[in-house]
Amino acid sequence: MLRNLQIPGKFAGIAFGLVAGSGAILPALTARSEIVSPSAVRLSHTSAPSWRVTTAEEDTQIWNYILNSPLGIAALNQLAIEGFISPICPKTFYINDEFGGFQFMLRVQCPDDRGISTAVGYREMRAIFNRFEGNIENFSIERVGDEMPPTIPLP
């Protein structure tokens, strides 16, 4: 099909570049992306004994992961939108030892109900992160309140 294609001289280089480059681009475009639902993320860490509070050194390392990752910033933005970034809301990190430290959680507890809806408030939000090497691969948000019990038991 391409043999009979006549391309004017000044466009021949562009056409060749597009055809040659498509060999590298097409696999990237056709590669299947995996979107992880929050329920799928939660299924992998439902036992309490594997979660523990982090050390001060681990806290520093986790903050670096979060602040140097677009997904980490996205999780912080979600917490901020719902009113959970506040000096009166203590923040605690937990790490899941079952996964070798590649899964961690930021738990934010507030003294009063918050959230984006006035109909349903909650006092706690949890951002659960999964990382590979130094990159956060995905995260999920869990909201905990009177009407929404936690799905992840913590020590």
pLDDT for the residue numbered 40: 46
Integer Cα distance of 69 and 78 in angstroms: 14
Integer Cα distance of 65 and 23 in angstroms: 34
pLDDT for the residue numbered 118: 66
pLDDT per residue as tens digits for the range 80-123: 999 999 999 999 999 999 988 899 999 999 999 888 776 778 99
Is 59's pLDDT higher than 60?
yes
pLDDT for the residue numbered 88: 95
pTM: 0.68
Is 2's pLDDT higher than 60?
no
Please tell me the chain's helix, strand, coil percentages from 3-state DSSP, rounded to the nearest 5.
35, 25, 35
Q: Strand 122-132 relative to strand 51-53: parallel, antiparallel, unpaired?
A: unpaired
